[in-house]
Amino acid sequence: MSIFKQITNHFNELMKKTVVAIFLGLGTFAQAQLQLPVSDYEKIEAQVIEWRHDIHQNPELSNQEFKTAAKIAAHLRSLGIEVTTGVAKTGVVGILKGDLPGKVVALRADIDALPVTERNDLPFKSTVKGTFMGEKVGVMHACGHDTHTAILMGVASVLSKHKDKIKGSVKFVFQPAEEGPPPGEEGGASLMVKEGVLENPSVDAIFGLHINSVLPVGMIGYKPLGAMAASDRFVIKVQGKQTHGSQPWGGVDPILICAKIIDGLQTIISRESDLTNEAAVITVGKITAGVRFNIIPETAEMVGTIRTLDYKMRDHIGKRMKEMVSAIATAYGGTATVEIVNGAAITYNDANLVGQMLPTLQKTAGKDQVMLMKAITGAEDFSFFQEKVPGFYFFLGGNTPGNQEAFPHHTPDFKIDDAGMLLGVKTLSEMALDYLSQ
């Protein structure tokens, strides 16, 4: 790349960030009071926590959230909200029509759990067992979807009592299978979109949140534009030639070829990807090969993930992986194929919408408690909604203030402080009201 092109690219990126900064700066002049009394939110807090504990103790895997869906649907119906069930297999959608005409805003929560065995000391810890890919597993809300579900149920409770303040409609989207449907099945946000969840009535904007085990309770984190990475799954199949483990010269070792491929793939990141632009990751998470210690097997298989925050980088990495894997295998006497399956897209927060709603975040949490974050390489299928309508996805603090030990998401020790959920109810409710009022 010429120095002129580099300068041009940096200038364009600077201008893009400047435009975003202008939007965010303009938003801060529109500070306002809560549309609903604080007492309305405080009255629902104990119920939200109770829902969360019950859902946490009774987790269900992706596309199997039958009891969770029934609980949600019964609650929405009790509020007089129009309910549709069985959306994208086990999803629930509720529509609350305000007394005044206006736009339609959607609020989304994911409802599925993970195949993780819980080992913390919570009094409401999960002891549920399930089946995942043919194996018996523990089932746990190890990513906080139980809090998301309880929070949105609380938002429905609050807003249903104030239809006179709603200019338009609020669509409550309780989405299954955010963690991905079982192999061979459809599911998640992509199937919800396919089945028309953003239509009838047509959604103008969508908001969602994710609890965060590191961010302290009371804080909100956000990022305009690319906030979370695209997630792609790859499978590499290596063909060698079987031989006795004591005579490797008699065959072609596919395990050795795997090792060379793994080493080579990392150079795509470290030597070919412009990491000053955006982060990117290639991870091999599983290798399957062989049956005995003294047999060099015929084949080997690797499965992994690609994470990108830029679509040009995503395309380049996929192209180079296919070129490199085949070439490395050939160099060592074998053959190899690569299959890349696109998963979640980039979670892309619309800059105009972020600027429009930033004052709402600041009035609910306090200006000093709202933090601009860097992008993360985790993925979210909320991105499928954002491909169709403007969306804003942000992070809610769930770590006890002063706590030095915050366990990562998707781990057996994962914990969330219940005290963080009230801010979630307040923020989503006020975002809906503010958006529809503008």
* Angle of the 145-160 helix axis to the 421-437 helix axis, nearest 10: 50
Q: Could you count the other beta carbons within 10 Å of the beta carbon of residue 345?
A: 23
- pLDDT tens-digit map of 227-244: 999 999 999 999 999 999
How many angstroms separate the CA atoms of 143 and 209, rounded? Answer: 12
Q: Is 74 exposed, middle or buried, given 0-12, 13-18 or 19+ CB atoms closer than 10 A?
A: exposed
Q: Give the pLDDT confidence score for residue 20 in this predicted structure.
A: 53
376: three-class secondary structure by DSSP: strand
User: pLDDT confidence of 24, banded at 50, 70, 90?
Assistant: low
User: Which of 374, 370, 373 shows the shortest CA–CA distance to 431?
Assistant: 370
- pLDDT tens-digit map of 271-287: 999 999 999 999 999 99
Q: Give the pLDDT confidence score for residue 405 in this predicted structure.
A: 86
- Integer angstrom CA distances of residue 137 from 95, 206, 369: 36, 34, 39
How many angstroms separate the CA atoms of 269 and 280, rounded? Answer: 7
Pairing of strands 370-372, 220-222: parallel
CATH number attached to the domain at 31-228+346-437: 3.40.630.10
Out of 40, 178, 253, 380, the active site residue is 178
How many angstroms separate the CA atoms of 241 and 248, rounded? Answer: 10
Q: Give the pLDDT confidence score for residue 183 in this predicted structure.
A: 85
Q: Is the pLDDT of residue 25 over 80?
A: no
How many angstroms separate the CA atoms of 271 and 253, rounded? Answer: 27
Q: Give the pLDDT confidence score for residue 2 in this predicted structure.
A: 43
Residue-wise DSSP of 392-416: EEEEEEEEPTT----PPTTSTT---
- Integer angstrom CA distances of residue 112 from 175, 286, 343: 8, 23, 17
Q: Could you count the other beta carbons within 10 Å of the beta carbon of residue 173?
A: 25
Q: Give the pLDDT confidence score for residue 6 in this predicted structure.
A: 40
Where are the chain's structural domains?
31-228+346-437, 230-342
State the alpha helices, DSSP H only, in 195-310.
Answer: 254-272
Handedness of CA 405, 410, 413, 418 (dihedral sign): positive
CATH number attached to the domain at 230-342: 3.30.70.360
Q: Is the pLDDT of residue 29 over 70?
A: no
Tell the residue number behind the tokens 């405080």, with chain if given. 42
Phi then psi for residue 174, to 5 deg, are -100, 105
Q: Is the pLDDT of residue 415 over 90?
A: yes
User: Which of 266, 226, 256, 211 shows the shortest CA–CA distance to 397?
Assistant: 211
Instruction: Let me know: does 182 contact 163? Beta carbons within 8 Å.
Output: no
CA angle 374, 193, 163 (to 5 degrees): 85
The answer to whether residue 112 is catalytic is yes
213: three-class secondary structure by DSSP: strand
Instruction: Let me know: does 61 contact 139? Beta carbons within 8 Å.
Output: yes
How many angstroms separate the CA atoms of 51 and 154, rounded? Answer: 9
Report the b/e string of 327-343 with b at 16+ CB within 10 A. Answer: ebbeebebebebebeeb
Out of 40, 112, 146, 204, the active site residue is 112
Phi-psi category of residue 273: left, alpha or beta, with phi > 0 → left and psi -120 to 50 → alpha: beta
How many angstroms separate the CA atoms of 178 and 211, rounded? Answer: 14
Q: Model pTM?
A: 0.89
Q: Could you count the other beta carbons within 10 Å of the beta carbon of residue 134?
A: 5
Find the mean pLDDT for residues 176-194: 95
The answer to whether residue 178 is catalytic is yes
Find the mean pLDDT for residues 304-333: 97
Q: Give the pLDDT confidence score for residue 424 in this predicted structure.
A: 98
Residue-wise DSSP of 3-25: HHHHHHHHHHHHHHHHHHHHHHH
Find the mean pLDDT for residues 372-400: 97
Q: Percent of the chain having pLDDT more than 90?
A: 91
Instruction: Let me know: does 410 contact 145? Beta carbons within 8 Å.
Output: no
Token pair in block for residue 226: 């690319």
Q: Is the pLDDT of residue 14 over 70?
A: no
User: pLDDT confidence of 11, banded at 50, 70, 90?
Assistant: very low
User: Which of 411, 422, 406, 423 shows the shortest CA–CA distance to 213?
Assistant: 406
How many angstroms separate the CA atoms of 206 and 426, rounded? Answer: 16
Find the mean pLDDT for residues 245-269: 98
- pLDDT tens-digit map of 314-327: 999 999 999 999 99
Residues in the chain: 438
Q: Could you count the other beta carbons within 10 Å of the beta carbon of residue 141?
A: 28
User: pLDDT confidence of 124, banded at 50, 70, 90?
Assistant: very high
